[in-house]
Amino acid sequence: MSVTDRCNLRCTYCMPEEVEFRDRAELLTFEEIAAFARVAAGLGVDKVRLTGGEPLVRKDLHKLVRMLVGIPGIRDVGLTTNGVLMAEQARDLYRAGLRRVNVSLDTLDPGRFRELARRDALGRVLAGLDAADEAGFRIKVNAVALRGVTDTDAVPLARFCRGRGYELRFIEAMPIGADPWDRSAVFPADELLELLGRAVSPLTPVPDQDPHAPATEYEYADGGGRVGVIASVTRPFCNACNRLRLTADGKVRNCLFALDEFDVKPLLRAADPDPGAVADVIRTAVGAKWAGHGFNAAGYVKPGRTMHAIGG
């Protein structure tokens, strides 16, 4: 569930430098997001992840967290953030019931961070990780696997995360940003695992993994923790995907790369909202889910929205 399209970074693989954000009146209220979650929970959805844009720029996000964790059937609420504002908000979010955060961090090098994010904020991200750790969160660090960056930065990131008890998760670069996509920009999962296995410690797949999870998880042979890989490009997992997305402006999407959206905002804002009508839209969206995203095939068409406006 995306709560905003706004962001305080401008990561090159996610969004353009200059962008026009939606008027705040166009975004779903916390009450509307929670109403959608209650309907989704009644249909079997039991996990919610809050995203953006950058979700922590949405004022009083902890209030939405408290609403969501109180919904019967929702057993897990997570947050994906760039971490820039986490130091200020970690305690309020934890007190509201949030327990898991994924913090995006592609590099520990200040210069490369500035080049990728177009902002000088590495110190604030690291401070956010410290605050999340101190508050008691279970932490994963998300890194986009990019040729020319991951080659150099994967090993330092792995050692950083191992030393702090964080799970490091690499996500192959996907065609969802503002710039034209070149498959050669992807640092593939097989090469990444070989690099970490050679430079850090051999990796073996974790047994009995959730078949619907987007990440394949690996354990270090020396007991030094785990690494996850989301290999959307080189190992598509579409046939096992059970994810559904809600954009900040109230559109249901059945795939990150979907070309069609299903609008629930008018239903949620009706004078007398009908949960059954919202449920029908969810069922229709799920029923229309593609067999695959198709970006490895000729003629692939990128979605009209970039990542910050979809909810990564």
Q: What does the pLDDT look like over 139-154, one tens digit per residue?
A: 999 999 999 999 999 9
Across the chain, mean pLDDT equals 94
Distance CA 76, CA 92 (A): 17
Distance CA 128, CA 83 (A): 5
- Pick the range with the lowest mean pLDDT from 15-29, 166-180, 251-265, 291-305: 291-305
Per-residue pLDDT tens over the stretch 114-137: 999 999 999 999 999 999 999 999
Instruction: Provide the token pair at 288.
Output: 């229309």
Judged by DSSP in three states, 201 sits in coil
Instruction: Provide the token pair at 241.
Output: 């995907």
Q: Identify the residue with better confidence: 10 or 295.
A: 10
In this prediction the pTM is 0.94
Beta bridge partners of 228: 169, 217
Burial 176-186 (b: 16+ CB within 10 A, else e): bbbeebeeebb
Listed residue (236, 216, 240) closest to 228, CA to CA: 216
Q: Which residues contact 83 (CB under 8 A, 6 or more apart)?
A: 103, 104, 105, 124, 125, 126, 128, 129, 132
> Residue 210, class by beta-carbon neighbours within 10 Å (0-12 exposed, 13-18 middle, 19+ buried)?
exposed
> pLDDT at residue 312 above 80?
no
pLDDT band at 179 (very low <50, low <70, confident <90, very high): low
Q: Which residues contact 153 (CB under 8 A, 6 or more apart)?
A: 106, 107, 108, 109, 112, 143
Task: Tell me the C-alpha to C-alpha distance, in Å, between residue 258 and each of 51, 213, 242, 292.
Answer: 17, 19, 14, 10
Per-residue pLDDT tens over the stretch 229-264: 999 899 988 888 899 999 999 999 999 888 899 999
Distance CA 254, CA 292 (A): 11
170 with 143: CB under 8 angstroms? yes
Pairing of strands 76-81, 47-50: parallel
Per domain, the residue ranges of the chain are 24-310
Four-way CATH pick for 24-310: 3.90.1570.10, 2.160.10.10, 3.20.20.70, 2.60.40.1180: 3.20.20.70
